Structure 1
Amino acid sequence: YADLGKRRPMNRLVQGDVGCGKTVVALLAAFIVIANGFQAAVMAPTEILAQQHYVNLKPYAEPLGVPLVLLTSKLRSREKQTSTEAIAKGEARLVIGTHALIQKHVTFQRLGLVIIDEQHRFGVLQRMALRQKGGSPHVLVMTATPIPRTLAMTVYGDLDVSVIDELPPGRTPVQTRIIHAKQRYKAYELLRQEFNQGHQAYIIYPLVEESEKSDLRDVTSMTEHLGNEVFPDIPLAMLHGRMAAEEKQKIMAAFASKQIQLLVATTVIEVGIDVPDATVMVVEHPERFGLSQLHQLRGRVGRSTHASYCLLIYEGGGLETRQRLAIMEQSNDGFRIAEEDLRLRGPGDLIGLQQAGFMDLKLANLVRDAETLEAARRAALTLIQKDPELTKPTHAVLRAKLQRQSHQVADLLQTS
């Protein structure tokens, strides 16, 4: 709220755990902007997530007299034209969409706020394209991928960072259990109990199809096995990234409407829609995933007051693997898990860090050296204030190095 009252545009990152209420924060910001005569746009990474935002926000917007439209590439031509015209004329005050929002023919009459959901799913140029639809709109980006605060302030140095570190009242923490593959039947017993109560579940596998190079279980063959041998009476379907977007959307919609009770999938559902009756997340071969990714998957359940469970079925890896996975049993705090992931596996598993150049570190440890990292950030900000153009002789070497790097970035942008 304070940001929106300032003379300069807001540029803020809101990060919080899955299900913490980031969407409500964004909605309130949108209503403030709309009440002052501007339009607000929400860009989501997938069609089905955009559809969910539209359905969830509509009951709040319509009673307040706020016209909203949905714009995605899957709309019929006439629907697209109607939405596009409403946006251009300013009749649509709240616009929900996907990449379709950044198409050249989509123009806003008075765009005042850009909200980007799961910002790491969009490229730099895509985010820039939406911002350029307005003069100097406020920008609010959201992510459910927790990054330790000190690191976030450095990675996203151009953004103010806010953290939501509490869940809404009534949410029951997901119970996480580690099960050896020899006791897989225990997972199936729990699934059966939940199915009998009318609840739903996910089972995640690391591969789409069986591979001669690996003994890992896969979505395709396990969907057939589960449907024929284990749960022949339960409506199930498989979902993976090689499917056409329309087919994926159709399956997720069927799962959301409870036509499907068991969804067998890859990590394609990591950022997905809310399914309140989904109470069990089973992950096979969890040793193949980073802790932060497991935490994201776990966030697909526990979206209601129902008791919910995450079962991690591991086969190999020994004591070290078991100890690493134990962190998932001990904590539901995404920030603690992200920090542990960073300590154990390095920055490669934290989304956004590779693009920020943290993969190039040879000696530094981003957890151990967090204080040094923060000190460097403060020193850089002080330097920018004192000599923003780096014209002083003492800064000549630094200026030359930054110029070389900026040329490399420019080349990359042209290539993109």
Structure 2
Amino acid sequence: MNLQAGCYSASGLFLFSSQRFAEIMGINLNTEIQMLKGVGPGKAPALQELGVCNGADLLEYFPRDWEFLPETAQISELTANANVCVCGVIESTDYHKFKRKPIFEIYLIDKTGALRIIWFNGGYLANQLHPGMRLAAYGKVTKYKHQLQMTNPRFKILREDIPEQDPKQLGGAVYPATASMSSGMLKYIVRKNIDELSACVKEYFTESFREEKNLLPRKEAFRLIHLPQEESHLSAAKRTLKYEELFLMQLGLAVRRYRMRNFAPSIAMKFSSQLDRRIRKRFPFFLTEDQDKAIEEIVSDMSEPKPMNRLLQGDVGSGKTVVAVYAALMAIANKAQVGIMAPTEILSRQHYQSISRFLEGSRVRTELVTGKMPASERKQLTEQISKGEVDIVIGTTALIQGGIDFHNLGLAVIDEQHKFGVEQRAKLRKDKAPHCLVMTATPIPRTMTMTVFGDLDVSVIKTAPPGRGKVTTKLVSPENRKKAMEYIRGLVKAGRQAFFVYPRIESGESDRNLKSAEEEFELLKTCVYPEFSVELLHGQMPQEQKKNVMERFRKGEVNILVSTVVIEVGVDVPNATVMVIENANNFGLAQLHQLRGRIGRGASDSFCFLFSESDNETAIKRLEVMQKSTDGFYIAEKDLEIRGPGELFSTRQHGLPDLKLANIVEDFEMLRMAKKDAEETLKEDPFLQSQENQNIKKAIIKKFGARLGLTDIA
């Protein structure tokens, strides 16, 4: 045994460093949870339910809150106006419910005396506090009728199953808990193991880098986030571990982006002014300045032998499809095929119809692949695709669900990217390296373009094509509903068409206040607007029926379309200038904006009516944002601000590890710093081969793994 990693104490006992002790005892970050101190087979299942399966999981099971209690004092030492924590045993309890202000009273005793403690309107405590219980109460000591007492203090029940619980350590970390694993027990287990576990932590950054960025060593940061002695310690630990999370995320994205651009050569597309003129002749209008700029960026990318990875984000109705068609025709001119994937069959059919209109009379062959195609028809089409006889293939996830193998895929276009994860995007590309253009009509806050879409270059189309009418949004209160319905009647009589959107298909027991499309369809058709043609559309209808209803609405044969959010994306009917959204308070801002984007696509002015009976402050705030602005980028930032990043997107869905401490909104400046530092790290060491980057390399492989295709960088 190597004894050099220790020393002798004054009493002659040999003392090991915590690192050496961890090695000897066999406690490390990979130790199974039941083998850690204070756990055993009895408590292990409860911890495993929380996702804590080994030492590393316990170390990264961060507190949800921290309490910093006043110093503990004995009862005989108390003085008026002191802010203290008192620990003792409850001697008696009494509830004076007939006083003018009902009072719950206890007497707490320790070995030095007794203290009266009262809670006004504290009847609820009668079932919680009983004689014989050990209790810690903390707050301000006051004097009442020459007697010291505490009024309405906070308290903690000292649990008998944690025998070593020290009253002086009652504050500190508060952990997310369950019925079978309390926060107190978690804190006890963490305290028992923190020395050995933190000693096993590997450092990511050099000392000079930490000093420059004002970061703690990782060992110290983990200790202090679990056992902070004061708030300044906690602040420093949180800063270090938040930065670490954001840095690893940004480095993982940067590595993925570098590898995709440098390890898989793509077709370098040829481009000329003659090709540009030929493509533009296909469009019966001039392109906007934003469209031209996006095309210029895409042409530049596709002219390189490195695969393009570009996000094209544009507000609803801004003309992204035209840009995608331009990119597709450039690929086809270079003898390559194009795959276009959309999240729904309605949207993929919409793309097929609009692209077919642009390419009418050309030799470009465009085909639509759906999940419900007859097997024989699908087999024939997949064979033609594999032989290169089809130029543009449009479909849903049917494109990646086996059987389709492109002869020469040069461009992959993925619409509504936020509906697909990184893995689905990778499946479309398979082992090839086509240029990739992802599009979204959901404007993305800048924080999300740096995280969820951090591996992509970004093009933005803000301006709508010229000749579009103004869209006015009105929040309609219950008392003005009838007036709004009559106004809509006048618009439909004048030849306009209307959408009525509902949050669910059919009524249910769960929430009777939510209106359903099926019930309201019958009411609108028979009672409210019997003079008009009213039809129903929702996701559970047979595909052919949905297709038929949409086609009739597009042709103007249907005046009013009653629907669910199935029309959220891709429905393009210029004559539809009216939208009613019922129970609008039940929709998020981004979804409301998407729905509103179905109108205002023609030259006439449009009107969006938000019907809501809610008095919820947050819901009203969202609806007022909609009434104030039609700018999707402003709305996206407000949505992120109001709802927070956790509710808006799941990083795991997009192939990224969840953030345990960092918040991309609150910590945006740190996110920017982490992104810049990650890019500089990769610029200096593209393969993360230097000795000082070995621990970082192992960390991103562990955190990202196969989800970002980084398993082979080791």
- Same fold judged by TM-score > 0.5? yes
Distance 1:200 1:65, change over 3 A: same
1:126 match: 424
Q: Residue type of the partner of 1:241?
A: G
Query: Deviation at 1:389?
Result: 4.5
Distance 1:403 1:68, change over 3 A: closer
1:165 match: 462
Query: Deviation at 1:163?
Result: 0.9
Q: How does 1:65-104 map onto structure 2 within 5 Å?
A: 65-77=363-375, 79-104=377-402
Does 2:697 match 1:364?
no
CA distance in 1, matches of 2:485, 2:610: 12
Where 1:154 maps in the other structure, the secondary structure is coil
Listed one character per residue, the Cα deviations across residues 365-395 of structure 1 (whole Å, up to 9, x for unaligned) are 51x5433322211111112222344454544
2:312 equivalent among 9, 14, 23: 14
Distance 1:126 1:249, change over 3 A: farther
CA distance in 2, matches of 1:397, 1:87: 45
1:152 equivalent among 417, 428, 449: 449
Where 1:55 maps in the other structure, the secondary structure is helix
Distance 1:231 1:354, change over 3 A: farther
Do 1:40 and 1:112's aligned partners in 2 also have CA atoms closer than 8 Å? yes
Listed one character per residue, the Cα deviations across residues 187-224 of structure 1 (whole Å, up to 9, x for unaligned) are 21122112112221111222322233322222222112
Distance 1:33 1:216, change over 3 A: same
Listed one character per residue, the Cα deviations across residues 349-380 of structure 1 (whole Å, up to 9, x for unaligned) are 535656356974556351x5433322211111
Which stretches of structure 1, 4 residues or longer, exceed 6 Å deviation after superposition?
none
2:345 match: 47
Query: Deviation at 1:320?
Result: 5.0
CA distance in 2, matches of 1:69, 1:79: 12
Distance 1:407 1:122, change over 3 A: closer
Q: Residue type of the partner of 1:83?
A: L
CA distance in 2, matches of 1:410, 1:8: 18
CA distance in 2, matches of 1:187, 1:86: 53
Do 1:173 and 1:332's aligned partners in 2 also have CA atoms closer than 8 Å? no
CA distance in 1, matches of 2:652, 2:421: 13
Query: Deviation at 1:317?
Result: 1.9
Distance 1:129 1:287, change over 3 A: same
Does 2:484 match 1:187?
yes
Distance 1:317 1:398, change over 3 A: farther
CA distance in 2, matches of 1:140, 1:316: 40
CA distance in 2, matches of 1:60, 1:46: 21
Does 2:230 match 1:230?
no
2:598 match: 300
Listed one character per residue, the Cα deviations across residues 27-82 of structure 1 (whole Å, up to 9, x for unaligned) are 11111111111111212222232222222122332434222222223344554344
Where 1:155 maps in the other structure, the secondary structure is coil
Does 2:473 match 1:176?
yes
Query: Deviation at 1:120?
Result: 2.4
Do 2:536 and 2:562's aligned partners in 1 also have CA atoms closer than 8 Å? yes
Does 2:197 match 1:197?
no
Query: Deviation at 1:106?
Result: 1.9
* 96-105 or 261-270, larger mean C-alpha shift: 96-105
CA distance in 2, matches of 1:147, 1:232: 41
CA distance in 1, matches of 2:377, 2:314: 34
Do 2:664 and 2:671's aligned partners in 1 also have CA atoms closer than 8 Å? no
- Cα RMSD (Å): 2.6
CA distance in 2, matches of 1:295, 1:179: 17
CA distance in 2, matches of 1:156, 1:53: 23
Q: Which of 1 and 2 has higher RCO (CA within 8 Å, sep 6+)? A: 1
Where 2:353 maps in the other structure, the secondary structure is helix
Do 1:347 and 1:353's aligned partners in 2 also have CA atoms closer than 8 Å? no
Do 2:313 and 2:440's aligned partners in 1 also have CA atoms closer than 8 Å? yes
1:213 equivalent among 505, 510, 513: 510
Query: Deviation at 1:410?
Result: 8.8
Does 2:252 match 1:252?
no
Q: How does 1:110-121 map onto structure 2 within 5 Å?
A: 110-121=408-419
Query: Deviation at 1:338?
Result: 0.5
Distance 1:246 1:213, change over 3 A: same
Distance 1:126 1:25, change over 3 A: same
Query: Deviation at 1:126?
Result: 2.9
CA distance in 2, matches of 1:352, 1:25: 29
Greater fraction helix: 1
* 356-365 or 202-211, larger mean C-alpha shift: 356-365
2:609 match: 311
2:437 equivalent among 140, 150, 175: 140
Distance 1:74 1:199, change over 3 A: farther
Query: Deviation at 1:402?
Result: 2.5
- What are structure 1's unaligned runs of at least 5 residues? none
User: Normalising to structure 2: TM-score of the pair?
Assistant: 0.54
2:562 match: 264
CA distance in 2, matches of 1:220, 1:314: 19
CA distance in 1, matches of 2:698, 2:378: 49
Do 1:172 and 1:302's aligned partners in 2 also have CA atoms closer than 8 Å? yes
Task: Pick the structure with greater CA Rg.
Answer: 2
Query: Deviation at 1:266?
Result: 1.9
1:347 match: 645
Distance 1:364 1:262, change over 3 A: same
CA distance in 2, matches of 1:146, 1:323: 19
Distance 1:225 1:70, change over 3 A: same
Listed one character per residue, the Cα deviations across residues 245-296 of structure 1 (whole Å, up to 9, x for unaligned) are 4443333333223332212222222113211111111111211111111101
1:377 match: 675
Query: Deviation at 1:241?
Result: 3.2
Q: How does 1:394-413 map onto structure 2 within 5 Å?
A: 394-407=692-705, 409=707
CA distance in 2, matches of 1:410, 1:140: 18
CA distance in 1, matches of 2:700, 2:662: 22
Where 1:2 maps in the other structure, the secondary structure is helix
Distance 1:352 1:234, change over 3 A: farther
CA distance in 2, matches of 1:204, 1:383: 50
Query: Deviation at 1:124?
Result: 3.4
Distance 1:147 1:73, change over 3 A: same
CA distance in 2, matches of 1:124, 1:400: 21
Q: How does 1:312-327 map onto structure 2 within 5 Å?
A: 312-318=610-616, 320-327=618-625
Q: Residue type of the partner of 1:5?
A: S
Do 1:290 and 1:349's aligned partners in 2 also have CA atoms closer than 8 Å? no
Where 2:630 maps in the other structure, the secondary structure is coil
Query: Deviation at 1:86?
Result: 2.8
Distance 1:59 1:406, change over 3 A: closer
Do 1:287 and 1:317's aligned partners in 2 also have CA atoms closer than 8 Å? no
Do 2:442 and 2:594's aligned partners in 1 also have CA atoms closer than 8 Å? yes
Do 2:468 and 2:602's aligned partners in 1 also have CA atoms closer than 8 Å? yes
CA distance in 2, matches of 1:309, 1:262: 14
